[in-house]
């Protein structure tokens, strides 16, 4: 039988979700815990790789298990085995042809930026620090250009294996966090993403906020398909996979 799980993890001490030759991967940690619980080798398949240092609040995976445990008991059983920086928050049984990678309808990410003259150590694991006084209104205006289906080659990092750069973005929004007005949340929701795409979108919006790029330039940057014209790739610690859509997005 096939089981889907939603996991939350702090990506700081992981090399990413996917198994690596060297380094601690989320998939390996989950697989080890599941194998111990079910007393046989269990392989965990994730919806996305997530890079080293990237966090998740709602990462989707699936695995084939040999016997049934009540859905509400699985998180408790898994979390008793898992280390403190990863937890199963939900588990549910799915059809045998369900794929965490191919049966979802998109993802929602948030990139967090803390700005000010003095860095904030309590945010350092989960937000990028920027010493500029960012103009949030300009960032919001620029964010509107990303919605829709576009060729996002300008927002794809070198090393990508993609042969098609067209992706559909549902929305990009910029807001102040309820926790702190200097903590900005850049939310990006879409069907699929290119390599480092969200971090480059966030980097472009930050450069708009810094005054280095005009909000009205963003449409032209998208159309140019030129990576050199877009903003910098922000580091991984500010990025969190918040949600994987299990239903079509209207």
Percent of residues, the chain, with pLDDT higher than 70: 100
For residue range 174-216, list pLDDT tens digits in order: 999 998 999 999 999 999 999 999 999 999 999 999 999 999 9
> Could you tell me the residue range of the domain that residue 63 belongs to?
2-94
CA dist 116 and 190 (Å) reads: 30
Kindly tell me if the per-residue pLDDT of 145 is higher than 90: yes
Higher-pLDDT residue of 98, 119 = 98
Single residue among 43, 68, 94 that ends a domain in this structure: 94
The answer on 124 and 67 residing in a single domain is no
Residue 184 backbone dihedrals phi, psi, to 5 degrees: -95, 140
Kindly tell me if the per-residue pLDDT of 250 is higher than 80: no
Kindly tell me if the per-residue pLDDT of 249 is higher than 90: no
The answer on 153 and 213 residing in a single domain is yes
The answer on 117 and 68 residing in a single domain is no
Kindly tell me if the per-residue pLDDT of 12 is higher than 80: yes
The answer on 133 and 216 residing in a single domain is yes
The answer on 194 and 151 residing in a single domain is yes
Residues β-bridged to residue 49: none
Single residue among 94, 120, 137 that ends a domain in this structure: 94
pTM of the full structure: 0.95
Task: Return the active site residues.
Answer: 51
Mean pLDDT of the chain: 96
The answer on 112 and 88 residing in a single domain is no
Does residue 165 sit within a domain?
yes
Residue of 227, 219, 205 whose CA lies nearest to 157: 227
* 17: three-class secondary structure by DSSP: coil
Q: How many CB atoms lie within 10 A of CB 94?
A: 15
The answer on 161 and 195 residing in a single domain is yes
| pLDDT, mean of residues 219-239 | 97
């Amino acid at each position: 039988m096939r089981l889907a799980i939603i996991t939350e993890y702090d990506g700081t001490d992981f090399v990413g979700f996917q198994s690596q030759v060297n380094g601690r991967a989320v998939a390996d940690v989950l697989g080890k815990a599941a194998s111990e619980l079910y007393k046989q080798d269990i392989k965990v398949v994730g919806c996305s790789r997530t890079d080293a240092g990237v966090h998740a609040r709602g990462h989707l995976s699936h695995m084939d298990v040999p016997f049934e445990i009540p859905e509400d008991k699985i998180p408790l059983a898994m979390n008793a085995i898992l280390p403190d920086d990863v937890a199963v928050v939900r588990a549910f049984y799915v059809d045998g042809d369900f794929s965490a990678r191919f049966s979802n309808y998109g993802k929602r990410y948030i990139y967090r930026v803390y700005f000010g003259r003095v860095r904030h150590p309590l945010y350092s694991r989960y937000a990028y620090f920027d010493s500029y006084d960012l103009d949030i209104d300009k960032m919001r205006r620029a964010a509107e250009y990303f919605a829709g289906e576009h060729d996002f080659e300008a927002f794809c990092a070198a090393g990508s294996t993609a042969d098609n750069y067209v992706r559909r973005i549902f929305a990009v929004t910029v807001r102040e966090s309820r926790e702190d007005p200097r903590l900005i949340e850049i939310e990006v929701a879409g069907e699929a993403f290119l390599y480092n795409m969200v971090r480059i979108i966030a980097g472009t919006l930050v450069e708009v906020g810094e005054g280095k790029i005009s909000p009205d330039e963003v449409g032209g940057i998208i159309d140019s398909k030129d990576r050199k014209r877009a903003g910098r790739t922000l580091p991984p610690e500010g990025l969190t996979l918040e949600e994987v859509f299990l239903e079509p997005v209207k």
